[in-house]
């Protein structure tokens, strides 16, 4: 999930923002999926086992949020999920037309990773980049790989969508993200010393705060569906 050329490590692009000039902010309504419905197709690289894992991730949305992933028929706007591209990444929000979600067979086929990237696709950023994150974590830039400090840029355009900071969020990276010495030198250290940070791929479902934020952001869109 730590791609050197991508915004914050796994964001390929952001709806309505010029590539290379991304800003971390929850999207405006024009970049949300209409009716809370996200059409999808599986690329030819997706195996039946990979499909089952990704569908488990989608089911977490279906069980806890008003978002619905539906197999694409003729919809113009949709996501294509592949496992033969390099890395784990997604675009944020509805870009328009076909947009890819990459779950590389080498290291990305986990339920937690699928949920994380799909949550990007519906319009969310990283928890540890929230504007209020300094009240909860310390970023040790001295331990961050050269050239990767921007992965920890705070969300200067942050919008409140009903939930406080959650260390356990599916959108929170682990303690050694972009570390010069993984497993030894921490880059994200919680101010609460009892907290242990885990990577998205180590998680199996969204937190209640994640689902609440999705439902709050998509309340108007999902209401249109009924």
Catalytic residues: 117
Terminal-to-terminal C-alpha distance of the chain: 36
Task: Name the 3-class secondary structure at 123.
Answer: coil
Q: Is 120 annotated as a binding residue?
A: yes
Alpha carbons 181 and 200: distance in angstroms, whole number: 19
Using CA atoms, how far residue 32 sits from 3, 9, 45, 111, 119, in Å, is: 25, 22, 27, 23, 12
- Are 68 and 36 within 8 A, CB to CB? yes
Answer left, alpha or beta for residue 7, where phi above 0 means left and psi between -120 and 50 means alpha: beta
- Give the CA angle between residues 128, 131, 135 to the nearest 5°: 70
Task: Name the 3-class secondary structure at 56.
Answer: helix
Alpha carbons 203 and 168: distance in angstroms, whole number: 9
State the pairing for strand pair 98-103/88-92: antiparallel
Q: Is 21 annotated as a binding residue?
A: no
Q: Is 126 annotated as a binding residue?
A: yes
**Feature table: binding site:** 116, 120, 126
**Feature table: binding site for Zn(2+):** 116, 120, 126
């Amino acid at each position: 999930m730590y791609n050197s050329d991508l915004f914050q490590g796994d964001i390929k692009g952001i709806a309505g923002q010029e590539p290379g000039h991304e800003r971390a902010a929850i999207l405006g309504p024009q970049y949300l999926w209409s009716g809370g419905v996200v059409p999808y197709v599986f690329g030819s690289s997706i195996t039946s086992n990979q499909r089952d894992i990704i569908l488990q991730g989608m089911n977490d949305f279906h069980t806890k949020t008003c978002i619905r992933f539906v197999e694409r028929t003729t919809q113009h706007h949709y996501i294509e999920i592949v496992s033969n591209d390099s890395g784990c990444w997604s675009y944020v929000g509805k870009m328009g037309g076909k947009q890819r979600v990459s779950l590389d067979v080498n290291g990305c086929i986990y339920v937690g990773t699928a949920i994380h990237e799909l949550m990007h696709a519906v319009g969310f950023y990283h928890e540890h980049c929230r504007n209020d994150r300094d009240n909860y974590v310390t970023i040790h830039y001295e331990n961050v790989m050269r050239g990767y400090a921007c992965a920890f840029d705070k969300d200067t355009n942050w919008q409140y969508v009903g939930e406080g900071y959650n260390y356990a969020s599916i959108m929170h990276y682990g303690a050694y993200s972009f570390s010069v010495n993984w497993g030894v030198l921490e880059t994200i250290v919680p101010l609460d010393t009892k907290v242990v940070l885990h990577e998205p791929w180590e998680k199996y479902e969204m937190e209640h705060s994640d689902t609440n934020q999705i439902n709050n952001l998509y309340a108007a869109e999902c209401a249109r569906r009924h």
